[in-house]
Amino acid sequence: MKIGVVCYPTFGGSGVLATELGSALASRGHEVHFVSYEPPCRLMGFGMGVRHHEVQVSTYPLFKYPPYLLSLAGKMAQVAAAEGLDLFHVHYALPHTISACIARAVMDKKDMPILTTLHGTDITLVGSQPVFLPMVRFALRDSDGVTAVSESLAAETRKTFGFEGEIRVIPNFVDPGRFHPGACGTLRRELAGEEEKVLVHVSNFRPVKNTVEVVRIFAGVAARLPARLLMVGDGPDLPFCRDEAERLGVSDRVRFLAETPQVERYLACGDLFLLPSWKESFGLTALEALASGVPVVASRVGGLPEVVRHGETGFLADPGKREEMVDACLELLGDEEKRRAFARSAREDVLERFTPERIVPLYEKTYADLLEG
Ligand code: GMT
């Protein structure tokens, strides 16, 4: 198939998932055309079957805000015609699905299928704002297929938008060959002493990730046992995390690493992964941690209970329940045998439920169903 993929090319979860899916589809013989304002960050070069088409935004002086939605729609229509695309797969409803609908309306091929994959904040935070809600409802109704990354997100979409059409749940997936327990190599010795435990957090440091709470939980743990915290990623709340580490007197034990292409190495160095998000439709970074054999302590929100098996591969607590999360960390870090059992179960569970071999065919089947009408 010739698939036009639209996504945010950033390190955010939807962009990462779209990129990994595109690469996996190309390796299975499909032709994948990314349409975005820059090449997706997570793309490891352009192998066979993967191309990128840059959206250039018009900067005419009249436009205070350049019309990205229209530039994207125009580019999608051009690429679809020039490359003979079979369908559009758009990740994140806003504004990508709206652009796809406009592109299709101006194209000769009026029956071009549009598949929308909902990732989370396009529904839970941004899409539910009163000004955007009717737009997302329109996007859902005008898509030929809709997928969501968790049962929780599908249910929230039905409830928030009164959407009664089919929503297929296709979970995120992870490459267990890249994210694996051995990926740390000798790095751990550079990061922590033998007797120290390593806690890791990876995100885009947006308020929804509750990253300052990561530092507070860590301070609670570090008061009881020798430990270090790795904060991987970049985003708006990063300065607040630094300030909080300073205020709590743990800044010498917290290391901040901006976005790194070696995220799998740092993840695999962890004894525990922390994700105390306020909302999380799936939790791709938690999945990457589990694949790396790192148990997860996270919020009991959104799709996280579908990813982390409470009491087997990690622990869940209601968001804001700091003491519960600190206790969960101490329970695992204070009992190495138990932590290792969780680590083994985490890896096994990922191999059973979230590999590309299991998940990518679910998208292929969805494409085939759409093309059959
Ligand atoms: O806020 C983010 O983490 C980025 C966001 C995105 O759409 O780029 O991530 C969402 O999509 C990921 C991939 O499907 C999910 O694993 C994340 O849980 C989800 N983030 C939230 O729901 C907050």
For the cut 80, the answer to whether the pLDDT of residue 45 exceeds it is: no
Checking if the pLDDT of 29 tops 90, the result is yes
Cα–Cα distance, 183 to 205 (Å, whole number): 24
Cα(151) to ligand 1 centroid in Å equals 14
Whether 11 has a pLDDT exceeding 80, the answer reads no
Q: Do the beta carbons of residue 230 and residue 274 sit within 8 Å?
A: no
Burial class (CB in 10 A: 0-12, 13-18, 19+), 93: buried
Give the pLDDT confidence of 247-269 residue by residue, as tens digits. Answer: 999 999 999 998 777 899 999 99
pTM: 0.96
C-alpha dist (Å) from residue 290 to 246, 297, 314: 30, 11, 9
At 10 the pLDDT is 85
Q: Relative to the CA of 285, which ligand 1 atom is closest?
A: 16
Burial 207-219, CB ≥16 within 10 A → b, else e:
ebbbbbbbbbbbb
- Tokens in use for 261? 């292409």
Atom nearest to 282 CA in ligand 1: 18
Which of these ranges, 36-45, 61-70, 111-120, 195-204, has the smallest mean pLDDT? 36-45
| pLDDT value at residue 251 | 98
Give me the pLDDT at residue 42, please: 78
- Given the CA of residue 208, which atom of ligand 1 is nearest to it? 23
Q: Whose CA is nearest to atom 9 of ligand 1?
A: 13
Q: Is the pLDDT of residue 36 over 80?
A: yes
SS3 106: helix
Q: Band the pLDDT of 58: cuts 50, 70, 90.
A: confident
Residue 43, pLDDT score:
81
The token duo for 99 is 């652009």
**Distance from the CA of 336 to the center of ligand 1, in angstroms?**
31
Band of pLDDT at residue 47, cut at 50, 70 and 90: confident
What is the tens place of the pLDDT at every residue in 300-336?
999 999 999 999 999 999 999 999 999 999 999 999 9
β-pairing verdict for 168-169 and 197-202 = unpaired
Find the 123 Cα to ligand 1 centroid distance in Å.
Answer: 11
- Residue 50 has what pLDDT? 94
Output the pLDDT for position 282: 98
| Residue 54 β-bridge partners | 36
Structural domains in the chain? 2-173+355-371 (3.40.50.2000), 187-353 (3.40.50.2000)
- If you take atom 5 of ligand 1, which residue's CA is the nearest one? 13
Q: What is the pLDDT of residue 259?
A: 72
Q: Are 79 and 35 in contact (CB under 8 A)?
A: yes
DSSP tag of 131: T
Q: How far apart are CA 48 and CA 31, in angstroms?
A: 8
**Which residues approach ligand 1 with their CB closer than 6 A?**
12-15, 17, 92, 119-121, 149, 172, 204, 206, 208, 279-284
H or E stretch including 230?
Answer: strand 227-232
Tokens of 293: 């054999």
As a whole number of angstroms, the distance between CA 93 and CA 104 comes to 16
pLDDT for 175 equals 96
Query: Angle formed by the axes of helices 133-142 and 151-161, to 10°?
Result: 110
Tell me, what DSSP letter sits at residue 11? S
Q: Do 277 and 208 touch, CB atoms closer than 8 A?
A: yes
